[in-house]
Amino acid sequence: MAIYIARVFLNPQKTIMNFSNSKVLIRVDFNVPLDGQFNITDDTRIEAAIPTLKKLLEKNNALIIMSHLGRPQKKKNEDGSINVKKFTLEHVVGRLSALLGTPVQFANDTIGEDAKAKSEALSAGEVLLLENTRFHAEEAAGDEQFAKQLSIMGDVYINDAFGTAHRAHASTATVAKFFSKDKKAFGLLMKKELENAEKVIKNPTRPFTAIVGGAKVSDKILLIKQLISKVDNIIIGGGMAYTFMKAKGGAIGTSLVELDKMQLANELIALAKEKNVNFYLPQDSIIADSFNKEAKTKACPSDEIEDNWMGLDIGEKARTEFSDVVEASKTVLWNGPMGVFEMEPFAGGTRAIAHAVAYATSQGAFSLIGGGDSVAAINQSGLNEQVSFISTGGGAMLEYLEGKELPGVAGILND
């Protein structure tokens, strides 16, 4: 991984600045949430792409934009056809046009007659949005022929869709094969995501603390393993903490547990010890008599949970201990909540950690929040402006931090 990452930043052709007077085929992530009337309820993803699109327009380029929206192949009409009404990217045209401050044309197909005719007729400074790439099953299959049809619409290719960079799809990865190295590049959003991930993984100012939470150990094994060789402190919270607690011989009641991962949990603890990494588990928990916001609750040590009670948040002692570690850190990476933060009685632990991350940042630490639920948690705390960087790509950031090669990144860097 080290080799290909180094090339991202050493090669100036990997920025978008070099392209002018070209037809730019660009992959973005406009997979926005819609309400029942198909109004956009959160346009964060569209906004995130605007700097790249504006920069390209300033340089006299014509833009042919590709994106997916939802999962039209999984949610077809009863007769097996695509539900165009629900999944058309036409829903995005108005908002995109308003944010860009310029009209946006729409092609009612992705590689068909309309897309071809409109992309051919496109002049400098004009913008064309193609219909949902996932209307074609070939998109997710990474199909070469489909990718080739997309590629012929542009002189150059830009990938600014970090959120889908971990997928080897036609418009995110395969299409890049049809452009030579000097004709493809990352967009500004993608570049910023990669640079921030790099800052944490390759050049962390120490002490470096990783906070890993969420439901299951099995989802985060690779991340924890990878981090143990890089961090000074690793803090484990959320449901996954109880698998570690049980593996150490504790009583965890009916808390979330993965019995088949207990040996692995012990191996991770041993690995941390071997590498001199401080491994923190929550000393105490907020426990409940059911998985419910109306449940009876009390606090107790995390390894002494009574039968029929479950740990749904970290307790006061754990909050203090974790916060002390985070506040003394100079690099902080956070992925996953400390408890069931969606229910107010179990949101306090996650909120305490959010405050500690914000405090560390105010003292000069670099903090990166990666992963869908930790992003929701930091937003819920109202502290999103007080951390260094919030990743837009949950799964993609997780895989990148796990040390995996992302197909969307490799596509730009490879020949």
Contact (CB, 8 A) for 64 and 57: no
Query: Quick one: 51 or 395, whose CB is closer to ligand AMP?
Result: 395
> 129 and 106 in contact (C-beta within 8 Å)?
yes
Least Cβ distance, residue 257 to ligand AMP (angstroms): 10
Q: Which residue is nearest to ligand AMP (CB)?
A: 214
CB of 200 to ligand AMP, least distance (A): 18
Residue 71 annotated among the catalytic residues of the structure: no
Closest CB to ligand AMP among 187 and 214? 214
Question: C-beta of 219: minimal distance to ligand AMP in Å?
Answer: 5
**125, 395, 403, 404: which is the annotated catalytic residue?**
395
For the bound state, the minimum distance from the C-beta of residue 347 to ligand AMP, rounded and expressed in Å, comes to: 9
Between helices 188-202 and 44-58, what is the axis angle to 10°?
110
Q: Residue 245 CB, nearest distance to ligand AMP (Å)?
A: 11
Nearest residue (CB) to ligand AMP, 127 versus 377: 377
Residue 234 three-state SS: strand
Nearer to ligand AMP, 184 or 261 (CB): 261
Cα-based distances in Å from 320 to 12, 31, 348, 362: 45, 38, 12, 18
**Nearest alpha-carbon partner for 89 in 144, 124, 41, 135:** 135
Catalytic residue among 45, 134, 246, 261: 45
State the nearest-atom distance from the C-beta of 1 to ligand AMP, in Å.
24
For 267-280, b/e burial (b = at least 16 CB within 10 A) is ebbeebeeeebebb
Supply the minimum distance, in Å, between the C-beta of residue 3 and ligand AMP.
Answer: 31
Catalytic residue among 70, 125, 372, 403: 372
Indicate if the alpha-carbon torsion angle 341, 240, 246, 301 is positive or negative: negative
**Catalytic residue list contains 45:** yes
Which two three-digit tokens encode residue 132?
């949902």
Q: Which residues contact 39 (CB under 8 A, 6 or more apart)?
A: none
Q: What are the tokens at 127?
A: 């913008």
Q: How far apart are CA 280 and CA 261, in angstroms?
A: 18
175 secondary structure, DSSP code: G
Nearer to ligand AMP, 25 or 338 (CB): 338
Instruction: Please check whether residue 308 is in contact with residue 254, taking contact to mean a CB–CB distance below 8 angstroms.
Output: yes
Strand 284-288 and strand 310-314: the pairing is antiparallel
Which residues make Cβ contacts (< 8 Å) with residue 136, sequence separation at least 6? 110, 111, 143, 146, 170
Nearer to ligand AMP (CB atom), residue 23 or residue 166: 166
Q: How far apart are CA 156 and CA 154, in angstroms?
A: 5
**Per the residue annotation, which of 95, 116, 199, 216 is the catalytic one?**
216
Return residues touching ligand AMP (CB under 6 A): 214-216, 219, 238-239, 256, 311-312, 336-337, 339-340, 342, 371, 373
Smaller CB separation from ligand AMP, 194 or 212: 212
Structure tokens at 53: 């699109």
Helix boundaries (H) for 122-220 = 137-141, 144-151, 188-202
The catalytic residues are: 45, 216, 372, 395
